[in-house]
């Protein structure tokens, strides 16, 4: 069983597996929003010698069971990356394992390199779901460079797309990852042809657009008063935010195996939804919940990014996260303009924000005279420590004078 995308790496692997193992290769493509023609992908696999091909539409499941938990956890790896590629891997493996059992397969193969994170995500998840199946990672074993793969493809008559000539691309409904080529120079601005989902901010509309997102129990359920299924909402927001140039990400990322890499992403819907969700949480959760949840969110994101989707700790963390989300109801108004987004309004029936308490112009139930005693106790140990420091410094100065 080969996880097949139709791209350069996995197309080369069909031939390689046949030659290396004299194997019958069954290819599996799990549709999580790659925006590829799945019929064309299937035809390519069979033309290259796959004995059978499976195409599985898992976009709706991906949105509900993988992306929505990530929204609840404000999942941004290193504060920047919405873990779009990471989230799809456990779902792809789960579907592959189902078919492997059906086909009585002996091995599962993937096209991950030995330098990236995906090898960990595939191997750990396969080992958790199907420990008896052998894992084959030809690119890691073969140690072939991308240029060598292109040469091999040419020799074997494997068609290579124009995009694959320049970049290595992975995409799903939550984001688009662009790597290789000129992007490996971390000091060079990404060329405009690297982007497909977002327009250049300079070319975006001169008129800002305002959108309102409704959340219930921590997940988005409506866009501008129109109720939407998870998949439809994400796809719509990708287009809306993308046309304003929102969602471009360019950063230095720490891969699990220790390499620092320059990563370029397009994540329009993810960027907007995560920012809106975090803002609404600040309105409805207590300060203690917000600060503690930041630690929980960070740990959840780390587990998902590093291939530990099946780890018991992730489930434990979700128990806390889901409990907090029972209060995350409300609407968030976002302004999209020339590559930027700004939360400009929010409301919630669970809001802890009380205008009567913060208003300086009207009398409220807030007793300001209590603040003096609060400040006295709040800063008590800080003042005591500084008194001791001054006393010690004075004593030292006296000794020097003597």
The mean pLDDT value for 112-137 works out to 94
Higher pLDDT, 136 or 8: 136
- Whether 62 contacts 32, CB under 8 Å: yes
Question: Given a cut of 70, is residue 162 above it in pLDDT?
Answer: no
**Residue 276 confidence (pLDDT):** 98
pLDDT in tens, 275-304: 999 999 999 999 999 999 999 999 999 999
Q: What mean pLDDT comes out for the span 25-42?
A: 91
Using DSSP bridges, classify how beta strands 209-216 and 248-254 pair: parallel, antiparallel or unpaired.
Answer: unpaired
Examine the pLDDT at 363 and tell me if it is beyond 70. no
pLDDT of residue 400: 77
Helical pair 268-284 and 230-242, crossing angle rounded to 10 deg:
110
Dist. CA 167–CA 84, nearest whole Å: 18
**What's the start-to-end Cα distance of the chain, in Å?**
85
The highest-confidence range among 78-92, 110-124, 373-387, by mean pLDDT, is: 78-92
The answer, yes or no, to whether residue 365 has pLDDT greater than 60, is yes
Tell me the C-alpha to C-alpha distance, in Å, between residue 354 and each of 186, 279, 350: 47, 16, 11
Mean pLDDT of 30-38: 90
Write down the pLDDT at residue 161. 66
Q: What is the pLDDT of residue 155?
A: 81
Of the ranges 46-50, 119-123, 281-285, which one carries the lowest mean pLDDT score? 46-50
- pLDDT in the model for residue 158: 80
Q: Is the pLDDT of residue 352 over 60?
A: yes
Residue 110's pLDDT is: 93
CA–CA distance, 226 with 146 (Å, rounded to integer): 45
Domains of the chain: 2-172 (3.40.50.620), 194-348 (3.90.1260.10)
Tens digits of residue pLDDT in 72-109: 999 999 999 999 999 999 999 999 999 999 999 999 99
> Active-site residues: which are they?
9, 89, 118, 168
Report the length, in residues, of the chain.
402
Q: Which of 23-27, 52-56, 156-160 has the lowest mean pLDDT?
A: 156-160
CA distances from 2 to 79, 107, 125, 277, 384 (A): 33, 9, 15, 37, 67
User: What three-state secondary structure class fits 282?
Assistant: helix
Question: What is d(CA 215, CA 221) in angstroms, rounded to the nearest whole number?
Answer: 6
Please say if the pLDDT value at position 39 is more than 80: yes
Q: What is the pLDDT of residue 206?
A: 97
What is the value of pTM for the model shown?
0.91
Tell me the mean pLDDT in the region 113-126. Answer: 94
What's the mean per-residue pLDDT of the chain? Answer: 93
Average pLDDT over residues 102-128: 94
Asked if the model's pLDDT at residue 163 lies above 70, the reply is no
**Mean pLDDT, rounded, for 348-376:** 82
């Amino acid at each position: 069983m080969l996880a097949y995308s139709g791209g350069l790496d996995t197309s080369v692997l069909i031939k390689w597996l046949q030659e290396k193992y004299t194997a019958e290769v069954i290819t599996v493509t799990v549709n999580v929003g790659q925006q590829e023609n799945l019929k064309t992908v299937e035809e390519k696999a069979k033309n290259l010698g796959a004995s059978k091909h499976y195409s599985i539409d898992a976009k709706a499941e991906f949105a509900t069971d993988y992306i929505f938990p990530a929204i609840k956890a404000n999942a941004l790896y290193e504060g920047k990356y919405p873990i779009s590629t990471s989230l799809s891997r456990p779902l792809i493996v789960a579907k592959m394992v189902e078919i492997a059992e059906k086909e009585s397969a002996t091995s599962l193969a993937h096209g991950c390199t030995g330098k990236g994170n995906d090898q960990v995500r595939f191997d750990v998840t396969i080992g958790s779901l199907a420990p008896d199946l052998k894992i084959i990672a030809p690119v890691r074993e073969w140690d072939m460079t991308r240029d060598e793969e292109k040469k091999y493809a040419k020799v074997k008559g494997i068609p290579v797309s124009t995009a694959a000539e320049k970049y290595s691309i992975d995409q799903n409904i939550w984001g688009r990852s662009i790597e290789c080529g000129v992007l490996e120079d971390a000091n060079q601005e990404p060329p405009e042809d690297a982007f497909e989902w977002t327009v250049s901010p300079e070319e975006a509309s001169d008129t800002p657009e305002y959108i309102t997102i409704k959340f219930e129990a921590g997940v988005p359920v409506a866009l501008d008063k129109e109720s939407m299924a998870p998949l439809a909402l994400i796809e719509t927001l990708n287009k809306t935010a993308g046309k304003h140039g929102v969602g471009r990400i360019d950063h230095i990322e720490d891969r699990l195996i220790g390499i620092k890499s320059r990563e370029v992403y397009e994540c329009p819907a993810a960027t907007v939804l995560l920012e809106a969700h975090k803002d609404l949480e600040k309105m409805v959760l207590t300060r203690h919940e917000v600060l503690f949840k930041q630690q929980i969110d960070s740990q959840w994101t780390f587990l998902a990014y590093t291939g530990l989707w099946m780890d018991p700790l992730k489930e434990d963390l979700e128990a806390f996260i889901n409990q907090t989300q029972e209060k995350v109801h409300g609407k968030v108004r976002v302004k999209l303009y020339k590559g930027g987004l700004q939360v400009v309004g929010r409301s919630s029936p669970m809001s802890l924000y009380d205008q009567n308490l913060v208003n300086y112009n009207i009398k409220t139930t807030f007793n300001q005279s209590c603040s003096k005693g609060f400040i006295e106790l709040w800063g008590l140990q800080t003042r005591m420590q500084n008194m001791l420091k001054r006393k010690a410094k004075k004593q030292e100065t006296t000794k020097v004078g003597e």
